[in-house]
């Protein structure tokens, strides 16, 4: 008899495997030991919190299962649930060292996304640009836009980066050569414009332009040696093949299999898989939430490092990310990037978190109001990852989230699509 598992079943398996790996290995990693020593606490296991977490998890899963699986909102909330909500719940079982309010912030974000997904705005009267014309326009923009990169970065291109050698050396060199143009356009080219060239090329069956798009992405990778650009090539092609329901099912299913493999390998003392993946992607953000809430409790920045820096004096001599790296990890060179919860809290306390939740939920509400085919989701996946690991206004302005919203309205809205 063949057992057929649905998405909810895969989420349950994923949840318990991830919790097992966290308590078996991740919370004993030296970063967690640093924080425990500074906080004079311990990452323990609280059975009472575990029972609370089980109830909340099944409640979250129930509401998630009620979203129509062909909708854009379903995959967006599923990915945030996978990468933010579940790790937060698991970290909460560590005891008092993980504050109640951080877990509640993440629950507020989950239900904020859920609530705002019910709101619809009519974009039917907004004109949509012809895809063939858009493809050629994007190619022209990229061709001219790449010229400053070639002029400045060209002499320093290191082909060894293609096999991930000398990556950090290249990043150091390129960062010293950077300017405002590169800072604002790099993510727009690598996360939006060039991936769109690839997807439009696939859709219009223009293989030459698909190849040119891939080569452009490889070239931009060599300009900065950012591995996420490399990964973006795979993401674009993978999501092009599947609908929203299939994408969520495969993400959770294969994540669960990878978790199981990581646990078995950890059992024989081979720890690199979980260190490089689940520790970094799922639980470093939860650890940084603890750091940011602890450090900025009662002393918010009021966005003095970002959009209000002309009006509010920034009180430190170095960036916040470096402060957190030095204070909590004894690494002043560490750039401890924050996500939407810690970014909101450091700027305006709990109200700042609510503001971030409102803005991000509104952003995805607008996208959910459009009729975006699943084949374009690779572009949005990269933006979702940015929201998890970067400050809100950085994602909107320099990581291309706002530009992607405009492109979605004028290029990706399929008015003939029926949910």
If you write DSSP's letter for every residue of 57-73 in order, what string do you get?
Answer: HHHHHHHHHTS-TTSHH
What pLDDT, in 10s, does the model give residues 365-389? Answer: 999 999 999 999 998 998 898 888 8
Average pLDDT over residues 100-122: 95
- Three-point CA angle 114, 116, 122, nearest 5°: 130
Q: Where are the domains of the chain?
A: 7-118+243-412, 131-241
pLDDT score of 225: 82
Average pLDDT over residues 194-215: 92
Average pLDDT over residues 176-187: 86
Average pLDDT over residues 327-334: 83
pLDDT grade for 416, boundaries at 50, 70 and 90: low
Nearest to 234 by CA among 60, 138, 378: 378
pLDDT grade for 2, boundaries at 50, 70 and 90: low
For 99-113, b/e burial (b = at least 16 CB within 10 A) is eebbbebbbbbbbbb
Tokens representing residue 156 in the block: 């320093």
Q: Could you tell me if residue 373 is left (phi over 0), alpha (psi between -120 and 50 degrees) or otherwise beta?
A: beta
pLDDT score of 125: 85
pLDDT grade for 69, boundaries at 50, 70 and 90: confident
pLDDT at 418 exceeding the cut of 60: no
pLDDT at 65 exceeding the cut of 60: yes
pLDDT at 390 exceeding the cut of 90: no
Average pLDDT over residues 151-171: 86
What pLDDT, in 10s, does the model give residues 273-289? Answer: 999 899 999 999 999 99
pLDDT score of 255: 94
36's CB contacts (< 8 A; 6+ apart) are: 42, 43, 97
360's CB contacts (< 8 A; 6+ apart) are: 109, 112, 113, 340, 387, 392
Average pLDDT over residues 116-122: 92
pLDDT score of 309: 87
Tokens representing residue 407 in the block: 């492109």
User: Taking every pair of C-alpha atoms in the chain, what is the biggest distance, in angstroms?
Assistant: 67
Query: Chain-wide mean pLDDT for the chain?
Result: 91
pLDDT at 396 exceeding the cut of 80: yes
pLDDT score of 257: 95
pLDDT score of 386: 86
d(CA 385, CA 196): 18
* DSSP-assigned letter for residue 40: T
pLDDT grade for 417, boundaries at 50, 70 and 90: low
pLDDT grade for 341, boundaries at 50, 70 and 90: very high
Q: Could you tell me if residue 303 is left (phi over 0), alpha (psi between -120 and 50 degrees) or otherwise beta?
A: left
Count of beta carbons in the 10 Å neighbourhood of residue 298? 5
pLDDT at 7 exceeding the cut of 60: yes
pLDDT score of 230: 78
Average pLDDT over residues 93-120: 96
pLDDT at 119 exceeding the cut of 80: yes
């Amino acid at each position: 008899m063949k057992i057929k598992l649905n998405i909810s079943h895969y989420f349950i398996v994923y949840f318990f495997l991830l919790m097992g790996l966290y308590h078996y290995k991740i919370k004993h990693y030296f970063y967690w030991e640093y924080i425990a020593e500074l906080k004079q606490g311990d990452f323990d296991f609280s059975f009472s919190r575990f029972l609370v977490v089980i109830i909340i998890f099944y409640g979250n899963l129930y509401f998630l299962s009620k979203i129509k699986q062909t909708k854009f909102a379903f995959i967006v909330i599923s990915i945030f649930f996978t990468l933010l909500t579940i790790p937060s719940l698991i970290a909460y079982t560590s005891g008092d060292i993980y504050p109640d309010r951080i877990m509640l912030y993440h629950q507020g974000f989950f239900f904020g996304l859920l609530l705002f997904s019910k709101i619809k705005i009519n974009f039917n009267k907004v004109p949509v640009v012809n895809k063939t014309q858009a493809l050629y326009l994007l190619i022209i923009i990229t061709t001219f836009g790449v010229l400053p990169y070639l002029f400045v970065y060209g002499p320093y291109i290191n082909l060894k980066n293609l096999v991930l050698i000398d990556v950090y050396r290249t990043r150091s060199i390129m960062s010293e050569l950077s300017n405002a143009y590169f800072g604002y356009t790099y993510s727009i080219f690598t996360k939006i414009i060039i991936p769109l060239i690839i997807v439009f090329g696939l859709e219009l069956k223009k293989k030459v332009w698909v190849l040119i798009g891939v080569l452009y992405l490889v070239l931009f990778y060599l300009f900065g040696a950012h591995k996420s650009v490399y990964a973006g090539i795979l993401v674009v092609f993978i999501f092009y093949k599947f609908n929203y329901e299939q994408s969520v099912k495969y993400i959770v299913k294969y994540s669960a299999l990878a978790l199981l493999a990581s646990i078995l390998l950890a059992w024989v003392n081979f720890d690199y898989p979980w260190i490089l993946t689940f520790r970094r992607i799922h639980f470093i953000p939860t650890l940084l939430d603890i750091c940011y809430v602890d450090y900025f409790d009662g002393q918010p920045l009021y966005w003095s490092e970002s959009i209000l820096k002309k009006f509010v004096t920034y009180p430190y001599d170095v960036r916040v990310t470096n402060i957190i790296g030095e204070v909590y990890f004894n690494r002043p060179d560490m750039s401890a990037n924050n996500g939407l919860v810690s970014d909101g809290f450091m700027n305006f306390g709990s109200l700042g978190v609510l503001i971030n939740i409102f803005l991000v939920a509104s952003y995805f509400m607008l996208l959910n109001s459009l009729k975006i085919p699943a084949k374009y989701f690779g572009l949005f996946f990269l933006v979702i990852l940015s929201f998890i690991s970067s400050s809100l206004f950085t994602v909107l302005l320099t990581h291309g989230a706002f530009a992607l919203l405009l492109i979605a309205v004028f290029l990706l809205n399929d008015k003939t699509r029926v949910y």
